[in-house]
C-alpha cells in the first residue's frame, strides 16, 4: 500500500507539463491585458499610490506562481517548497491590497463604466477572497500533488479576470460584461477537466470543488450586489466622492467609441 501510494505521488509529481503550460498561458493573458491598456492609452501611471502597490504585489505573485511551476518542472522540489512558503505570506497581501484598491477605484471613478458599481465592488472583492481561500487550500494540500496543482489552477484562473477584461470588447457586452468576464475565467479549470478526462478517464475531484466553490461565490456575490443591502453599502461607500457622479448601472459615456 505504501509503495503504491509513493508511486502514485511520483507519477503526479512527474506530470508537470500541462500545469506549467497553463501557468504561463494564464500569466501571459494577465500581462497582455494590462500591456494593451497602457499601449492604447487607456491606463496611466498617474494614479494614487494604492494602484502602484496593488500592481507590484499582484505582478510579484505572477513571478512566484511561475517560479513554482518552473521549479516543479525542473524537479527542484526544495526550491519549489521555498516558493510555497513565500506564497503563504504573499496571498494575504494580495487579499488586503486587492480589496483596498477596489475601494479606491470605486470612490475615485465608480469603477469601469461597463460594470455596475455595486457589482464591481461586491463581486470583485468576493471572488478575490475566493482566490485567497482556494490558494490557501492548495498550499495546505501541498503533499497531495493532484489536489495542490488543480486547486491552485482554479485559484489562478480567478486572477485572469482583469487581464481578460482588458482584452475583451466589454463596452459591447453591457449589461452582461461582468458575467461574461467571469465566465471566461472559468474556461481554464474546464480545460483542466478535459485534460484529466483524456489522460485518466475521469475528472479529479479538486476541479469539481475548486470550480464549484468559485461558481457559488460568484452567484452569491451577484445576489448580494443587487440586494437592497448590497446596493446601500456600495452607495454609502462612494457617497461624496467622484465615483458617486456616475450612474450606478453600467453605461456608455457620451461620445464613446471603441
Per the domain annotation, does 255 fall within a domain? no
Cis peptide before 175 (omega within 30 of 0): yes
Q: Identify the residue whose cell numbers are 453591457.
A: 174
> Is 227 part of any domain?
yes
Q: Give the torsion through C-alpha atoms of 232, 238, 240, 244, to 10 deg.
A: -90
254 falls within a domain: no
Helix (H, G, I), strand (E, B) or coil at 246: coil
Residue 1 falls inside a structural domain: no
- In which domain, by residue range, is 155 found? 11-244
Q: How many domains does the chain have?
A: 1
Q: pLDDT tens string for the chain (258 positions)?
A: 444 444 444 445 557 899 999 999 999 999 999 998 888 777 777 788 999 999 999 999 999 999 999 999 999 999 999 999 999 999 999 999 999 999 999 999 999 999 999 999 999 999 999 999 999 999 999 999 999 999 999 999 999 999 999 999 999 999 999 999 999 999 999 999 999 999 999 999 999 999 999 999 999 999 999 999 999 999 999 999 999 999 999 999 987 776
Angle 135-138-140 from CA coordinates, rounded to 5°: 110
Residue 258 lies in a domain: no
Neighbours of 253 (CB within 10 A): 10
- In this structure, what is the dihedral angle of CA atoms 97, 23, 40, 175, given to the nearest 10 degrees? -70
Distances in whole angstroms, Cα of residue 224 to Cα of each of 83, 100, 106, 133, 204: 36, 19, 17, 19, 31
Indicate whether 3 belongs to any domain: no
pTM of the predicted model, to two decimals?
0.91
Amino acid at each position: 500500500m505504501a509503495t503504491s501510494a509513493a508511486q502514485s505521488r511520483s507519477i503526479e509529481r512527474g506530470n508537470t507539463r500541462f500545469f506549467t503550460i497553463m501557468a504561463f498561458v494564464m500569466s501571459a493573458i494577465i500581462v497582455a491585458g494590462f500591456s494593451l491598456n497602457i499601449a492604447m492609452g487607456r491606463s496611466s501611471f498617474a494614479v494614487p499610490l494604492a494602484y502602484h502597490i496593488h500592481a507590484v504585489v499582484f505582478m510579484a505573485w505572477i513571478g512566484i506562481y511561475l517560479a513554482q511551476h518552473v521549479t516543479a518542472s525542473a524537479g527542484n522540489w526544495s526550491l519549489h517548497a521555498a516558493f510555497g512558503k513565500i506564497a503563504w505570506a504573499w496571498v494575504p497581501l494580495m487579499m488586503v491590497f486587492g480589496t483596498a484598491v477596489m475601494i479606491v477605484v470605486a470612490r475615485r471613478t465608480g469603477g469601469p463604466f461597463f460594470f455596475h458599481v455595486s457589482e464591481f465592488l461586491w463581486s470583485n472583492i468576493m471572488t478575490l477572497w475566493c482566490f485567497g481561500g482556494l490558494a490557501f487550500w492548495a498550499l495546505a494540500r501541498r503533499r497531495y500533488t493532484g489536489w495542490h496543482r488543480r486547486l491552485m489552477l482554479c485559484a489562478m484562473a480567478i486572477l485572469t479576470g482583469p487581464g481578460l477584461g482588458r482584452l475583451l470588447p466589454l463596452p459591447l457586452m453591457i449589461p452582461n460584461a461582468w458575467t461574461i468576464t467571469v465566465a471566461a475565467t472559468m474556461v481554464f479549470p474546464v480545460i483542466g477537466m478535459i485534460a484529466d478526462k483524456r489522460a485518466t478517464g475521469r475528472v479529479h475531484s479538486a476541479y469539481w470543488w475548486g470550480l464549484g466553490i468559485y461558481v457559488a461565490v460568484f452567484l452569491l456575490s451577484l445576489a448580494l450586489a443587487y440586494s437592497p443591502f448590497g446596493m446601500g453599502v456600495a452607495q454609502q461607500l462612494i457617497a461624496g466622492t467622484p465615483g458617486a457622479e456616475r450612474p450606478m448601472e453600467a453605461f456608455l459615456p457620451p461620445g464613446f467609441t471603441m
